[in-house]
Amino acid sequence: MLTYCKKCLTTSLRPNAWFNAEGICSACQYYNQQVDYQQNKTQQLQDWISFLKKKNRNKKYNRIYDCIVGVSGGKDSTRQAHWVKESLGMRPLLICCAYPPLQMSDIGANNLSNLVDLGFDLEIICPAPITSAQLSLESFIKFGNICKSTEMALFATVPRVAIEKKIPFIFWGENPALQVGDFACIGENEFDGNNLRKINTLKNNDMLWMTTGAIKQKDKKLHFYEYPDMASIERYGINIIYLGPAWNDWSNEQNATYASLQGLTLRPDDKDLTGDISGASMLDEEFTNINMMIKYYKFGFGRATDLVNEKIRMGLISRSDAIKIVEEYDGVCDDQIIEKYTKYVGITTNDFWKIVYRYTNRDLFIISDVVGDRPRRKFKVGIDS
């Protein structure tokens, strides 16, 4: 059964979604609490950092850097890096787990260069390109997710560097449990990100699928994909901290505006090709647009839904107007992006669509007998079914 939040367009099919008795999703509940909560969030964050410092005061840490900010060349990480340095007065090392050269966009590369121009120290780590492409195909076949391995590397690399360099704090952006709705990773408080390992992408830290498919074990370079065990993180006193809850104006729109003023390059107006109504999502590569499309076919919501939900909560758009946007842009992904991906991983477009059909929710979509036709929506956006 597909059930919608009574305030926004979050659905019950979102992994780890949670609604209260009134049918309100956890993200809307949290936003409403934030509006009514007047205490200084920055001070609360600093108090939490001070508490963690005292808790681990006997551990030896890096003398040059006191924190890591994971960056991608996007709006959120650009703002986070600047805010940590200027508002918290900390000494960040920026870490980018970069996409392989055939996948990274020119915009993403330019935005990483902009961070260096702003005076930050930046280390770029890139998993082996051929292995990366093979794992993308493997995860596509096994999970209907072309980005699972990429996301695993992205999440795992930063804490691995923190352990290696003895840097105690990792700053992350939004709190997925409270600001998006992935309630499985809820922490001790709104800033506590140490349960990030429990999000849908990382749960159980399952890497067996990487070693049982077409890619042979001896060819694997899996170090970058394995999230450190909790014992290692605790041994070195590493803590993940969410910044999103500390900002009253955390949003895609505000982050993009702030980062643009710091030199960030945005995507041209191509929402009819990507479904990105913001022009600021996933600037560093294009294949995520495919994953947003597949997510739509799996769960009945995509990128446009996520973006308008935020606007609904902020009072910038009505739920009825948001429905019209979602109907037009959820699931949009141009054929050229799909063709580029099929060449990247070495399959035909027919093979691509056959895999997509296997993961399409047939309770929500009608699948044509003609391979290559897009699944057609059966449900009405915003209406429980």
Q: Is 324 exposed, middle or buried (0-12, 13-18, 19+ CB in 10 A)?
A: middle
Note the pLDDT of residue 64.
95
pTM, entire model: 0.85
Calculate mean pLDDT across residues 254-279: 77
What 3 state SS string does 313-330 have? HCCCCCHHHHHHHHHHHC
pLDDT class of 214 with cuts at 50, 70, 90: low
Highest mean pLDDT pick, 122-131, 217-226, 260-269, 354-363: 354-363
Note the pLDDT of residue 254.
75
Start-to-end CA span in the chain (Å): 6
Alpha-carbon distances, residue 314 vs 28, 35, 37, 304, 309 (angstroms): 10, 10, 15, 16, 9
Residue 214: inside a domain, yes or no? yes
Distance CA 89, CA 124 (A): 23
The DSSP letter of residue 67 is E
Residue 191: inside a domain, yes or no? yes
Note the pLDDT of residue 36.
47
Note the pLDDT of residue 38.
43
Residue 346: inside a domain, yes or no? no
CB 169 within 8 A of CB 66: yes
Residue 370: inside a domain, yes or no? no
Residue 16: inside a domain, yes or no? no
pLDDT class of 178 with cuts at 50, 70, 90: low
CATH number at residue 216: 3.40.50
Please tell me the total count of domains within the chain. 1
The pair of three-digit structure tokens given for residue 108, joined into one six-digit string: 């993403």
Per the structure, the complete domain to which residue 66 belongs is given by: 42-246
Calculate mean pLDDT across residues 344-354: 97
Residue 334: inside a domain, yes or no? no
The DSSP letter of residue 13 is T
Give the angle subtended at the CA of 258 by the CAs of 99 and 33, to the nearest 5°: 100
Q: What percent of the chain has pLDDT over 70?
A: 92
CB 6 within 8 A of CB 22: yes
Residue 102: inside a domain, yes or no? yes
Residue 280: inside a domain, yes or no? no
pLDDT class of 329 with cuts at 50, 70, 90: very high
